[in-house]
Amino acid sequence: MLTWLSANLGTILTLIVLLIVVGLIIHVMIRDKKMGRTSCGNKCSHCAMAGKCHGGSAHAVK
């Protein structure tokens, strides 16, 4: 078992780092959703879909 761990230590550490990064990204996305922020940035005046999302009204940047 110890031989296998030492042979795969780089892969294991890379996996742990990636899991932490993905977890942090998900955490930030959930926090932003709870605060009412969207991923698009609410810059509706520059968007081809202006007025179609966010309930039909353009929002100012928060």
Residue 40: left if φ>0, alpha if ψ -120 to 50, beta else—which one?
Answer: alpha
Where does the pLDDT of residue 60 fall: very low under 50, low under 70, confident under 90, or very high at 90 and above? very low
pLDDT reported for residue 41: 62
DSSP 6-37: HHTHHHHHHHHHHHHHHHHHHHHHHHHHHTT-
34-57 exposure pattern, b = at least 16 Cβ within 10 A, e = fewer: eeeeeeeebebeeeeeeeeeeeee
pLDDT reported for residue 32: 86
Domain residue spans in the chain?
A: 2-56
pLDDT digits (tens, 9 = 90+) for 1-48: 899 999 999 999 999 999 999 999 999 999 988 887 766 666 666 777
